[in-house]
Structure 1
Amino acid sequence: MLIAEYDYDTDIAIQREEAGKIAFARGISQGSLQKALETARLMRQRAYPVAEICLMTGLSQAEVEALN
């Protein structure tokens, strides 16, 4: 954007829109992680092998073993 074309209100609107997109993506990511952990927890309760849980959920072995 050229200095001559700079508009403060437009700049702020764009920054807010970009921040909203980042927050939305972060929320989706956290929700996906929570769902994977919930699924892994259920699989652990039903005595699935850790390697199988990792494959199915995308979690690491350490993350799966840390579940109750």
Structure 2
Amino acid sequence: MKESNYKSYDELPLFLNAATVAKVLGIAPSSSYELMHEKDFPALRIGNRIVVPKEAFIRWVEQHTGGAE
């Protein structure tokens, strides 16, 4: 398993691309692309790019890890 380079949500940029999502979650970039195409994942398409708003990403992580309970 890959290790995240980020130690805090504060270190994240305002919008995350697939490479950043992969680094944060400690997964392969190909897995982050697959995740970003899932129906419930909070990704935005801007032209050809797919980005994830930082706050929506944090909420998604909390919902899927039990952190929001």
**Which structure dedicates a bigger proportion of its chain to helix?**
1
Which structure's relative contact order is higher, taking Cα pairs within 8 Å and 6+ residues apart?
2
TM-score norm. by structure 2 comes to: 0.28
Asked which structure has the greater CA Rg, the reply is: 1
TM-score norm. by structure 1 comes to: 0.28
